[in-house]
Amino acid sequence: MPSSFTQSSIGRSSENSVFSSVSSFAFEAPSADRIQALRLQLATALQTSLDIDQILTLLHRHLKAYLPISGIHYVNGDAMIDTYIGRSAKHRCQYQLNMQKQAFGDISFVRSKRFSEQEMAFIESIMDLVIFPLRNALKYREAMATAMIDPLTGLNNRGAMAITLEREMERARRNEDQDLSIILIDVDHFKSINDRYGHLAGDDILRQVARVIHTSVRRCDVCFRYGGEEFLICLTNSTLELARSVAERVRLAIPDQVKLADRERPVTASFGVAHYEGEADWPALVNRADQALFSAKDQGRNCVVTSLVTEQDALSL
């Protein structure tokens, strides 16, 4: 842990400089012993979590025992975080969190009554305990996001896919009338593209295909690189017919938008589509899409095949 952190690295926002000189209710500054006890409790509690909302909730809970506050607002533009714990209110006391020239966002304490200088001094006496857990939580969040992204295409990777499919299948199970479909996509004759144009050109084709897939679906649909030259789209609230029409749209867009250097031959892909029918786990659902994809390859490639579940199949799911 860097030891150079000082109180001055918490920048109190200038907008808080307008405060009434007399607090609208009596705030009795805790004794040095009580502050010491709070610091110990807080330090112990805040280091139990790497979740930003949970850290703020713990901070809110501990502070409330000493100082009446309605809520805590935390904003970090770089990390795209804007989160509120508790209730919003008119007055705020805001701090910029900085450590070793790095910014970790702005934190505001809010309530309906103005904060006095004494109260702000009290808040500042514990603020150094907040910055380390928040910094660790931000780093953890960033690491998790990186671990879920395929570096070549920028799409979500297979690990993220397993988590998403399990979550969406669970949701569809809970809400029985909610549809869920997936599309498995495999670039046709990709080995020959690599062989003829080289591996780097092959990589470029994969990036272009990923872009076409990503831009052809709704914002709520999630796209993954399943592996090699295979991609998967998870379509929430989508029937088999809707998923089929999306697959058809992507199928037509690929040869239109993906370009090989010499433009001699179009790049195409084959598609397998499956609707969730109560499978026990995600590999069972992907396996049905894979069988449909296999049929698409067998039927000459550059086509969409949907997986139809017979009554007999449904019984064995």
Ligand X SMILES: Nc1nc2c(ncn2[C@@H]2O[C@H](COP(=O)(O)OP(=O)(O)OP(=O)(O)O)[C@@H](O)[C@H]2O)c(=O)[nH]1
Q: Determine contact, residues 246/179, Cβ cutoff 8 Å.
A: no
The kind and range of the H/E element at 17 are none
Q: How far is the CB of 30 from ligand X (least distance, A)?
A: 60
Residue among 277, 308, 279, 278 at smallest CA distance from 292: 308
Q: How far is the CB of 233 from ligand X (least distance, A)?
A: 18
Nearer to ligand X, 90 or 199 (CB): 199
Nearer to ligand X, 39 or 301 (CB): 301
Length in residues, the chain: 317
Q: How far is the CB of 10 from ligand X (least distance, A)?
A: 46
In order of 187, 197, 250, 269, 304, the CA distances from 231 in angstroms are 9, 21, 12, 10, 14
- The residues near 79 (Cβ < 8 Å, ≥ 6 apart) are 105, 138, 141, 142
Nearer to ligand X, 241 or 298 (CB): 298
Count of beta carbons in the 10 Å neighbourhood of residue 250:
23
Count of beta carbons in the 10 Å neighbourhood of residue 128:
17
Residue with tokens 């092959």: 202
Q: Determine contact, residues 211/253, Cβ cutoff 8 Å.
A: no
Nearer to ligand X, 62 or 297 (CB): 297
In order of 104, 111, 301, the CA distances from 94 in angstroms are 13, 12, 60
Handedness of CA 279, 285, 287, 292 (dihedral sign): positive
Q: How far is the CB of 216 from ligand X (least distance, A)?
A: 20
Q: How far is the CB of 165 from ligand X (least distance, A)?
A: 21
Q: From the candidates 176, 229, 264, 277, give the one annotated as an active-site residue.
A: 229
Q: How far is the CB of 298 from ligand X (least distance, A)?
A: 10
Q: Which residue is nearest to ligand X (CB)?
A: 202
In order of 89, 156, 182, the CA distances from 159 in angstroms are 41, 8, 16
Nearer to ligand X, 109 or 231 (CB): 231
Q: Give catalytic status of residue 142 as yes or no.
A: no
List residues binding ligand X (CB under 6 A): 152, 186-192, 194, 199, 202-203, 206, 228-229, 297, 301
Nearer to ligand X, 165 or 206 (CB): 206
List active site positions: 229
